């Protein structure tokens, strides 16, 4: 049946991830959307300036997108939208969507608020896209341009929690003990959320994990604080080692506080609540830099998109891309669904990305890896890729960090492989299953011109007033490289240069004397928080641009700060700090690639 005839069908039948009924105007896009960094939680405006829905308002619509992408904090944003009355009336997906659906599940379990969440078959989703702007009705897993006479209203505040079918999953004695409330009410409700997520995945059992990294400790509004305090009020206490991601203020150096005293107090209160539950105040978005980083094959439960991708890909540890809120629920129970990248078969690549003619160009610098990661993420928005052709460059762990962070910004996939570099891709065959269907995509270096231009949103010749480094958090080696580049040079008086890093990395750099030397140059160090959580007054609005070496921040920054951005290597960032201006000139390696291709 062709799409034209399907559009005329009155009812589309899908899978109801979350049941309920709703009606509203359809707002649809064929491009995935990260709600965190892509949607303002207090207004529901789409602020991802690279997305086709930029400027649209999600509240009171039926939102249709293929799936989410980017940050694990999308679950926090959907909760905030639900609690402040700005959420869509329903969400339609083309494929299973874990992060945004989990946010709705948490809202239903903890606060009694919900919206329908439905997955449609790809052909039906394509037909739905053609109805953009029309009035739609949703009832559980059914979608129609007509009403459903027997539909019931969605769950409202105060209604009992959703029924849960446990026949599909094998429960251990510990699981049943927790679910019965014998280990406390916080563990009980956390187990309900874990089991509903397992049902979403189709997992048949739960498993033990050795550690958790919690991403939901950054303050995004009153909903995330209410959630954490709810668990603490129920007697919540972590059962396994738990680290904390970046928060919204700098508790250690006190360099950065919130835009208001109210915000600062709320952000610190949220961090303190998680510490009272038993989590460690690590406050870094790069937990793989800690001594507690997991080993190859270790089963863990991490949130924070770049950390998940790095853990799976570079360390060879095993974790899903866990949504915020689910991370602490797993910490409270010690149990996680056995599925996704925890299982061998789900770690295999289905896309082979061949990077061609790398050896034909010289002067490849550190800007190459974010650009390639950003491009590969767009090529494989939901599939695990394996990259061939860059092994001769011998990328470092920091290069892989930069690649993975940019990749995770535009892809929902939990990992990647690089043949000859990452531990599960000793050969191309090792990264692929023997009988799987896979496709190949070739990338010429000239293809990276498009992401270069997309991430450089500043105008040619626009002045620079801020150099932002450390998204994800800078490593010790990156601080050392920066120190070498700044030595003997003078920073422009009108340019601020700031580095965010974790507490442990800051302490190591301080003890090595690099902090003092860089501060004399004019670098300002910020711990505990990260660039995607910073705004006024740290980043005042101005007509000048921000420059960064982070593909992730160059993507999210324009929407988060209202400023235009330059993207470039660390070397070019230091040059801009000294000169007060940057250019949109291509890197030498990209210029060389364009010249050799005749463009």
Give Cα separations from 174 to 27, 337, 525 (angstroms). Answer: 44, 14, 45
Give Cα separations from 356 to 75, 288, 404, 592 (angstroms). Answer: 38, 30, 20, 14
Q: What is the DSSP letter of 549?
A: S
Among 29, 34, 44, 71, which one carries the catalytic annotation? 71
For residue 71, indicate whether it is catalytic: yes
Distance CA 71, CA 278 (A): 24
Neighbours of 265 (CB within 10 A): 14
Distance CA 70, CA 532 (A): 12
Check if the beta carbon of residue 110 is closer than 8 Å to that of residue 329.
no
> Residue 110 contacts by C-beta under 8 Å, 6 or more apart in sequence?
189, 227, 230
SS3 category, 364: coil
Q: Where are the beta strands (DSSP E) in 65-191?
A: 90-93, 117-119, 135-139, 142-144
CA quadruple 324, 325, 328, 329: dihedral, nearest 10: -130
Nearest to 305, CA basis, from 288, 291, 293: 288
Check if the beta carbon of residue 214 is closer than 8 Å to that of residue 331.
yes
**507 is written with which tokens?**
């302490």
Active site positions, annotated = 71
């Amino acid at each position: 049946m062709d799409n034209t005839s399907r559009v005329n069908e009155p009812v589309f039948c899908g899978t109801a991830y979350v049941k309920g009924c709703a009606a509203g105007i359809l707002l649809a896009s064929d491009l995935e959307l990260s709600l965190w960094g892509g949607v303002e939680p207090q207004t529901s405006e789409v602020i991802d300036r690279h997305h086709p829905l930029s400027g649209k308002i999600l509240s009171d619509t039926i939102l249709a997108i293929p799936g989410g992408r980017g940050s694990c904090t999308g679950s926090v944003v959907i909760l905030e939208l639900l609690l402040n009355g700005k959420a869509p009336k329903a969400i339609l997906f083309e494929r299973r969507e874990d992060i945004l659906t989990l946010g709705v599940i948490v809202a239903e379990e903890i606060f009694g608020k919900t919206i329908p969440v439905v997955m449609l078959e790809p052909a039906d989703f394509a037909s739905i896209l053609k109805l953009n702007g029309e009035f739609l009705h949703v009832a559980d897993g059914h979608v129609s341009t007509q009403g459903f006479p027997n539909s019931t209203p969605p769950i409202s505040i105060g209604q009992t929690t959703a029924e849960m079918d446990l026949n599909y999953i094998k429960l251990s004695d510990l699981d049943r003990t927790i679910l019965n409330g014998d280990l406390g009410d916080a563990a009980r409700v956390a187990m309900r959320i874990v089991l509903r997520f397992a049902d979403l995945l189709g997992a048949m059992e739960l498993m033990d994990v050795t550690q958790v990294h919690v991403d939901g400790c950054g303050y995004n509004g009153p909903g995330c604080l209410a959630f954490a305090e709810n668990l603490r009020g129920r007697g919540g206490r972590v059962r396994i080692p738990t680290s904390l991601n970046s928060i919204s203020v700098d508790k250690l150096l006190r360099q950065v506080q919130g835009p208001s005293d109210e915000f600062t107090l709320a952000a610190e209160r949220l961090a303190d609540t998680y510490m009272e539950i038993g989590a460690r105040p690590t406050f870094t978005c790069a937990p793989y830099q800690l001594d507690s980083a997991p080993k190859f094959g270790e089963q863990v439960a991490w949130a924070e998109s770049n950390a998940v991708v790095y853990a799976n890909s570079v360390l060879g540890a095993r974790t899903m891309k866990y949504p915020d809120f689910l991370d602490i629920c797993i910490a409270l129970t010690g149990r996680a669904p056995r599925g996704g990248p925890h299982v061998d078969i789900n770690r295999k690549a289905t896309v082979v990305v061949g990077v061609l003619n790398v050896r034909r160009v010289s002067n490849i610098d550190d800007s190459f890896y974010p650009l390639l990661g950003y491009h590969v993420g767009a090529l494989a928005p939901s599939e695990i890729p394996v990259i061939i052709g860059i092994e001769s460059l011998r990328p470092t762990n920091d290069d892989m960090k930069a690649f993975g962070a940019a990749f995770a910004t535009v892809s929902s996939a939990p990992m990647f492989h690089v043949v000859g570099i990452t531990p599960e891709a000793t050969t191309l065959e090792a990264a692929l299953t023997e009988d799987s269907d896979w496709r190949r995509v070739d990338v010429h270096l000239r293809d990276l011109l498009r992401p270069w231009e997309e991430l450089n949103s500043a105008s040619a010749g626009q002045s620079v007033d801020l150099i932002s480094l450390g998204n994800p958090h800078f490593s010790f080696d990156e601080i050392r490289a920066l120190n070498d580049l700044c030595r003997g040079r003078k920073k422009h008086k009108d340019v601020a240069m700031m580095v965010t890093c974790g507490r442990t990395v800051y302490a190591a750099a301080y003890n090595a004397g690099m902090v003092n030397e860089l501060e004399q140059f004019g670098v300002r160090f910020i711990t505990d928080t990260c660039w995607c959580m910073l705004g006024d007054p740290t980043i005042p609005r101005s007509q000048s641009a921000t420059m960064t070496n982070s593909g992730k921040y160059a993507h999210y920054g324009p929407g988060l700060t209202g400023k235009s951005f330059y993207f470039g290597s660390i070397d070019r960032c230091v040059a801009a700090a000294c000169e007060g201006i940057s250019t949109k000139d291509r890197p030498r390696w990209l210029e060389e690639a364009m010249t050799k291709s005749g463009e």
